[in-house]
Structures are given as C-alpha cells and as structure tokens.
Structure 1
Amino acid sequence: MKSASPRFQPQLNLVITWAGGATEESPLGQLRQQTMALLRWLIPGLEGWFWEFPVAQVLKLHCYSAPLSKSFLCFCQEMIEGYQADFQQGQAYFAHFDPPEILGFSADQDTYSLPFLFLPCLYQGQYLGGMCLGHPGPPMWHQQQLQPLQIIVEQYSLGYTLAQSSPAASLGTMALDLSHLHHELRTPLTGILGFSKMLKEELYGPLNDKQRQYVQGILLSGEHLLSLVNDFLDLAKIDARREELFLEVVAVEDLCWAALSMVQINAREKGLDLKLEIAPEVDFCRVDQKRVKQILLNLLSNAIKFTLEGGVTLRVERQGEFLTLAVIDTGIGIEAADQAQLFQPFKQLKHPLNRQTKGTGLGLVLSRKLAQLHGGDIYLESCPGQGSCFTLQLPLENLGSADESEA
C-alpha cells in the first residue's frame, strides 16, 4: 500500500513540547521518558516523537529528539491528521518526507527501508495517539525489531490509560508490564545464546575463521542485551517500589573476596594489581548479599575498564554508624562536568575506552538505587588523569537491629 503524500491538509493547531533533555515530573511525562529509554535500548540512536489524540482542535506533539525542520513537523501533522482513520484501526505506516513516500505495514513483509515509522497506540480499541520513530540509519526496519516494538506500544498504551485515570498506579503497572516484556525478550535471547554457544564449541562441525568471528559477535551481543534487559527490569521494579531486599548477616571479608574473584581475570589480563584493604574492626554486616555483591561487581568492573596501568583497591572501613566500601583506581579519572551525569540512565563517559567494552549505561544508576534501598548511597571523588574513588556507604544499624531481635 503506497501513496505519494498524506491525503488531507492539516486542520488542527499543533502544540510542540521539546522534552528530550529534561526530567519530567508528571506521570505521563515519566511514562514517555521510560518508554523512550526502552525504545533506544532496543534500537540505539532511535529518534522519537509522541502524539496525543487531538482534543479541542489541538494536536500535542512531545519531542524526545533534536528539533527537526519545520517541513518535517508539518509532514508529521499531515500524517497524523490525514491517516487518523487508519490509525484508529491500528494501521501503522512507514514514511519518508523528502520526497514524500508512504508505505503501510504488512505482516507479510520482512524489511522496510523508509526511515520513519508511525505507530498508533490503542487500548481496548480506543485510539490514544501514537509514536513517530526515526531509524538512526541506514534505515532498515526488520520484523525482529517490529515485534518487540509492538509489545512496548501495548504496554505504553496501558500505562497511558492508567496514568490518566490513576497517576499513582501507572508506574507500578509499568513495572509489571516490563516484567512481561522481560519474559518476552529473555526467552528468545536464551535460545540465541544457547545455539551460539553450541556453534562456538563446534559440536556440529568445524567453523572457518570468519564464522567463528561472527558466532563470537552474536554471543557477545546476546549477553550484552540480556544484561540490559535484567538491569532495566531491576530499575523498573525499584521505581515502582516492588523490589524487596533479603537481608542477612554476612561476613564482610567473604563478601568482598567473592566480588573480587569475579573480576580477577580481567585485572590480570590488563596487568593491574587488585587489592583488598579491610580494617580490623570490620567483621559483619546485615545486607542483601546478592545485591551488594552486584554493586561491588559493577564498581570494580568499571574501575578495571577505565584503568590502563597501576591497580584497583577495595578499601573497607567502619566510619561511625556506617560501613564504607571504597573502590579506588589509578585510571583516567572523570571530569567534574561528567560526574553528575554518571548516575543518570544511559549516560556514559565519552572516552575511547568506553567503545572497547560494551556497557548497559544502567549499572551505576542501578547500583546507587540498590544502595539507597539499603539506607545508604554511593559517592564519587575523582581527579582527571589521577583516578577515581567510588564509595558505597551502608548503615550498620541493620546489624544492630538483627542482633537485638535474635537476643
């Protein structure tokens, strides 16, 4: 189904909101931001615009990408108005605005080369608005991308409806729906990882060098994607106050060595010294062992990643009513302007070392939220060219309450 241009001239008043660089406080704004982050996780570099169902002759367009030309915005308005009847029926369109070209979505077609995708959002048959997504290029949409995109649209539509009727419930429901999305993505990923491992081990015959290279790439990309899925679900559960900690009394030294052992090979490969310095008065703490180990693993991995020579030290001390676990490196350090952004989702250092090893862009955000769940926090001190110190601070009062309850 092709057309040279939209079929109607605009009749509505267009109101544009540039929301890409700001942290929104309204439930709908937060929902759009979370959805955009999820979309960009699925397709890095994706551009996005959300439109709402026109009310009182006003068409609202929320932009989460850099401002484009006036002609493109006019084209968006023409598309939204001109194909409104089709959007109400759930029909999606691919488009190019210069020169104008429109192509309707068909389940029989595997790929689409037009850069913009107009996806309507419906909930129980009610048309709510939609999303215009711009492929980062070269534009090539695949069915493998479109299936999870449709799941995200469905979850956004449900969250949008709940945010309008009950703002407090919308983010909690979003976490539940992300749990469903996690299952939908994890299941095929598990299969991809399993098959690629079988190929890598050459169980069904030898591979040539190029095939080994491609299989290794599939395996690494799949593991990276699975890590991102897990991190994103954890964040969603914390934001919705659905993450529970399983506190237990653990030996601090054992916990530290468990985390250090997981990064020891990486440190050795780079020729870095890996040390544990633990004060004699430190013995036990009451924490969620799995989550604290996850925090330490993230901090240690980052330290090794950005350290070219010297070493990484895990220094553990008791400071008043707090236990501090400081990860100190002799790495590249962090500029003051970049330090505030490190604890924001999908924000990473712009450094060549960052391109050599893939990261999710969520590790530090998740680590800080997990620390805050324990009643603590993570603090950063850094000097460019000299190194960084990330300090995990945990309250020791949890241990005291545990001792009293046992007595």
Structure 2
Amino acid sequence: MKLNKLVLVFLCVAGVTLFSFGCGDDSSPSSPAAPSAFPAALASTDSAVGVSVRNAIDTTSLGTDTVDLKATAATPLSPINNVEVDDFTPTLTAANASGTFRDATFSYVFAVFNVTGGGSTLVETATRAQGATSTSFQIQAPLEGDSSYQWRVRPFLDGAFGPWSTLASFTTPPSVVIGLPVPTAPINGATVSDLRPDFNVTNGSVEGDAGTVIYQIQVALDSGFSNIVTEEGTELRAQGDTNIHLRADLAAETHYFWRVRGRNDGQGKTGFLPIGQATSQVIGDWSTTQDFFTPAALPPGPTPFCCPPPNRLEIVQQVGDETGYPDSGISVTDFTQAVAERLNQEDPNWGRRINGNGNIGKDTIGYRVDGSDDNPYKVDIVAGATSSSPVLHWAGEGRLGGSWVAP
C-alpha cells in the first residue's frame, strides 16, 4: 500500500498526469473528470456557443464546458470556411488531437449546428473512434437545403473531455425539387388509335442538382390504381415535354386510367439507372389522374411469306450440266444469270441481288419477299467462285440488305 501511494505522489509531483488522479489542484486542467450526466442547467442550451438544442438530441455525450483532459484541440480539416458541400450528408473530418504529456488514443465528440437568424440550433451529435491521423463523421440528420451550418469536435477519454476545436462552417446546396408533370395525352376519356398508345406529359419544374430525372407512368383499370396493368418510364426530355412508350399492347375496348410522376432515385423505368450525381434522391408526387379508352381489336392481316425460300439446288445443277460450268469456260456471272432466269420462269420472285455497294452479286441470286424490291433473301449458289475449283451449292444467307432486280 505504501508503495502505491509513493507512485501516485511521484506522478503528481512530476506533473505527467494525462487524466485526473485527485491530486488536489481543482483549478488545473487535470482536475476531477466531469460527471457522466449532462447537468440539468445545460439540458437545453450549449452555453459555449449559445445555441438551442432540438429536444430529440441526447446532449450527454457533449460533456460540460470544463476541460479535464490534458490534450490539444483537434483541428477541423473539412468542410471549412463556409464551403458549399456536395450533398446533404457531408463527412466532417478533423486532424487528431494529441496528449499534452504523452501520446494517447482518444474518441472524438462531434457537434453540428444549424445557423439561422443570428442563432444556432444543435442538430446532431456523434462520438467516433480515433482514426490514424484524422477522424471523420458522416452526418446522418436531415440537413436543410441552401443553409449555413457550423461544427466542432473535442477529444474524449475515460470520462474526461478535452478542449473544443474552433468552429468550422459550411453551406448546403439548394434542395432538389421535382415538380409535378402535367398529363397531356391521352386525356379526358379519349379513344386512342391503337393498343399501344404513347403518353405525353408537359414537364414539371426541376430545382437543384437533381441528376437524371425519370418520368414514370402507371396505367390501371381503376382510378384508385389498385389494379395496375403496367408501369413504364423514360428520361425527362429537355425540350419541355416527354413521351413515354409502352412495351406491350393493352387490351382492346377497355377503360384505362393513368398518372405520372418524376423521380431521380435510379428507378422508374426498365432496370436501374445511375442517379447522375444528384445531391439527394427525390420521388415526386403523382400527377392528376387521366383516363382513356382503347379501340376494338384490328382483324388479323395476311400472314407474310416466311423465309427461307425453297431449296432449288436441283435447278442450279441442271443449268450447270447444260452450260458445262465450271469446266466449259463460262464465267460465274453468266452462269448465275442463267440460273436466275430459269428460276424466274417457275417463280417470278426469283431474280438477281444488287449488293449494298451497287454491284450485282456475281455468284448470288435474290428472292423478293412480300412483293418488295428492298432487302431480298440472298442465296449463294457457287462456293469458291473465285478459286480454281468452284463448287455448285445452295446456301441461304438471309435478308442482308441490298435490292432485288429481275434477271
């Protein structure tokens, strides 16, 4: 016991105390630590900066104004000097404090204040463990747009509090506001012309750094939208109005209701979108509800011809026998022309194919589809046409552009 007392006396005399040991000098910064409970007199006011406190905030973690931890003040690094931050949950960073007589690892108490009308209101407090050289805290409380804020930080260890840092300041960007778009078509119970109508809206106002704004529509069978049949969306267009397209037909002769809203949270259309550097995510209110009717179903049209055309290798080989190709010396171009003429006699849709470069295919023929000269079905009838050993064959290659011409 005597040895313990001697060690304690030596520590007090030497002046190397980091925390309070009850050495008897109440005026010293190493006087007894503050009580763990926040004094009742300070329950609604932080006397150090003269601020009011939101009732929901626990101020006990701030300690009193008494400095009973021998340490330097932390130094605010960012944001400082009234800079405008990028969003509404900025990260506060301060250079770590240090012990007056020896190194120590502290925790840090942060306090954030909203500055308005000559006064300040405490909006958030937090305690964070010390980082390597600096300590950070990301604000979680909802900050107001286009507003001024201050913050400070102090070290804390074993119930003792160090000095507050100087007050640092920052401002927030303007709040993001996505105004109501106005439905313009189809509206007022109109009957649309087909089963996949386009929806047009007049753009609403957009304030602040909203990033990518999506206009999302809901189409339902009732005005209360309890029976939604589809949701679609597209990016807001800059020219003042936006069209939203459906990906599937609606039912015929049906009464539908629809509404639209803006949002910048990356949703509202097929898949997800990047938010586009928005300062905050906003889902706007729904517009007024509009209604329309779909028309009667159209009668089915004729079934179009389905490629490929029939394989006519037999005709190719027959013409080859008649002309002696490829051994007779007839050119591949003349041989292909003879095949095209023969096929055209049995089906007038057979002919020659003109390539995209404007040249007629030397070893290919074309089949006209649905009576159109555009984009015929291409068939190659000579393999290795430019080699020393060409071979007759039938290779349908599909509709690859170009045009059809009679042989």
**TM-score, length of structure 2 as denominator length:** 0.26
**Structure whose alpha-carbon radius of gyration is higher:** 2
Structure with the largest fraction of helix: 1
Structure with the largest fraction of strand: 2
